[in-house]
Structure 1
Amino acid sequence: MMVPYKGNKAGSRRQYLKSNPKKWGFKIFARCGISGMIYDFIPYGSEDTFRNHNFSEIEEGLGFGSKVVIALCSSIQDKPLSVVYFDNFFTIPELAFYLRDESGISCLGTIRPNRLRGCQLKSDIDLRK
């Protein structure tokens, strides 16, 4: 989510995303419930984003988006009973396997074609038929 801010006192904490309706502001990664209630959040701070989190070597190798999901899921109380949904920025197959194997969390997310690791899919034209 983006918290709008157009001032100039924030230094490098302020982000610019040209595709968002709120182009300038603070980027915040949040874990929310179905009702929209925020249960946990991490403000983006470039190199300081994960200063309060320690990751294993496996978690470090999964990439930035996966580390965000793992950090936000660390505060879930009943992990084996939980399902986490996220968008295509965070979705990679390795993250889904890691969450299931390490903490029993089920997940669902859309995936970008370049992150399928060689899996061949039908083209959009064939799927429309």
Structure 2
Amino acid sequence: MSLNRWESIKRFLHFANNNQAIPGADKLYKVRPFLNALLNSFRNIPVDEVLCVNEQMIPFKGKSNLKQYMPNKPKSWGYKVFVLADQHGIVHNFELYTGCIQPCPGHPDIGASGNIVLSLTSNIPTNMSFKICFDNWFCGVDLQVILERKNIHSVGTVRQNCLAGCTFTYDRTMKAKGQGMHQEKTTNHDGVHLKAVKWYDNRPVTLLSTFLGANPNSEVQRWDKKEKKIVHIRRPNIVSYYNRSMGGVDLLDSLLALYRIKIRSKKWYHRVVFHMLDLTVKH
């Protein structure tokens, strides 16, 4: 295909009727029919038992009011996408961030991070003991209680200030006792049994779950700086499960980065469209 031919195709590439668009009603109206068609296809894929929710970046540095900056991501600038995927990177639901996250219909407003998880998991069958993993930006007591009432189990890293009334041993005390120390607290909140575990590895990490606890422990190898040798430390079961189940979206990102379609265009939605094509080919 010649360059002029490709430029002509790209110039007239449209996914919605501009004459039917309502200004300000939907920031994604340019690609909304295309995204809805993909969502219907992804939601029809058989769902695995273990799922994870995480953020994904569509690389983009052009001018757009939808562009976000996330310094901890490999691609810091771009469009933010919230993705529900399984351990193998298969996407079952996604939502492109447009600056505002509304409460999920039929559920109370529990904040932007909790609302997006409820929205992404709305198509997951209830009362079938599915398991959802997420990091500390999403995790909270209110979210896990709502999911557990639908018989959807959950586990995630959690920030200490999200656990009101729950106090753990100070970090420096756990560090003095050495790697592998952990502490577990349990409670019932609105009829839901919750378990919080704090584990000290190279640094402390706290996890919250409705179906997992610290036992049974397993052994992992770590390098001891003082003794200058590899030592065996104890790792709680909740940490092992989280590490094994949380990497679905990261795996998807690594596969997409290998053969990403690189396109230069002044139209902001072109980057979204070709990213979704990469996502579809990966499946």
Where on the TM-score scale, by shorter chain, does this alignment land: which range?
A: 0.7 to 0.9
2:114 equivalent among 44, 66, 70:
66
Matching residue of 2:147: 99
Taking the aligned partners of 1:99 and 1:22, their CA distance within structure 2 comes to 31
Q: Where does the alignment leave 5 or more consecutive residues of structure 1 unmatched?
A: none
Taking the aligned partners of 1:119 and 1:54, their CA distance within structure 2 comes to 28
Residue 21 of structure 1 aligns with an amino acid whose one-letter code is P
1:114 equivalent among 133, 147, 161:
161
Mapping for residues 1-129 of structure 1, pairs under 5 Å: 1-8=56-63, 11-47=64-100, 49-50=101-102, 54-56=104-106, 59-60=108-109, 62-77=110-125, 79-101=127-149, 103-128=150-175, 129=177
Taking the aligned partners of 2:138 and 2:146, their CA distance within structure 1 comes to 13
1:72-122: CA deviation from partner (whole Å, max 9, x where unpaired): 110113553200000000011111111101x11000000001111121111
Percent identity over the alignment? 30
- Once superposed, what is the RMSD of the aligned Cα atoms? 1.7
Would the alpha carbon gap of residues 54 and 71 (structure 1) be closer, same or farther in structure 2, given more than 3 Å must change?
closer
Residue 39 of structure 1 aligns with an amino acid whose one-letter code is H
Would the alpha carbon gap of residues 65 and 54 (structure 1) be closer, same or farther in structure 2, given more than 3 Å must change?
closer
Secondary structure of 1:74's partner? helix
Given that 1:5 and 1:25 are in contact with CA atoms closer than 8 Å, whether structure 2 keeps it comes out as yes
TM-score (norm 1): 0.84
Taking the aligned partners of 1:27 and 1:124, their CA distance within structure 2 comes to 33
Name the structure with the higher strand share.
2
Secondary structure of 2:65's partner? helix
Given that 1:59 and 1:66 are in contact with CA atoms closer than 8 Å, whether structure 2 keeps it comes out as no
Secondary structure of 1:121's partner? coil
Secondary structure of 1:59's partner? coil
